[in-house]
Structure 1
Amino acid sequence: MKIPTPTYRCPLARVQPETTDLEAMKQRGWRDQHILVVNATDERPDFIEREFIRRLGERLYGGTRHG
């Protein structure tokens, strides 16, 4: 007779974070608080929109830091 071996559940499993749907979080942020999160290299906006996003980010937060 084959007895299935019980699966061991690690005690650390309950402290593992749940995965978050980042796109849904971005949508909620825009709809609820009008916060826009856009990656400057996102392919969905066209070139002009990406360039506008890059320039706006640099104007508001400064350019990229080296070093």
Structure 2
Amino acid sequence: MRWHPPGYGGERRGPERVKRDGWHEQGLLAVAVDDERLTWPERELVRQLGDKLYGKREEAADA
């Protein structure tokens, strides 16, 4: 039997695939503030959005 219920067997999606699928399917964006694919202004925008929506991070609050 090759059919597996969701979450059992089969192939597991990697983190980047989960992020991509979340964006395409639900409009959710998951991005790390230190993602090297982003320029400094883009990373700063991500940090500012995170601070506005969820509050300052503990590491950032200490600095």
The answer, yes or no, to whether TM exceeds 0.5 is yes
Unaligned runs of 5+ in 1: 1-17
Unaligned runs of 5+ in 2: 1-10
Q: Segments of 4+ in structure 1 off by > 6 A?
A: none
Q: Over aligned residue pairs, what C-alpha RMSD do you find?
A: 1.6
Alignment correspondent of 2:28: 35
Return the offset for 1:64. Answer: 1.4
Normalised TM-score (structure 1): 0.66
Give the aligned length: 49
Normalised TM-score (structure 2): 0.70
What does residue range 1-67 of structure 1 map to in structure 2 within 5 Å?
20-65=13-58
- Percent of aligned pairs with the same residue? 41
Greater CA radius of gyration, 1 or 2?
1
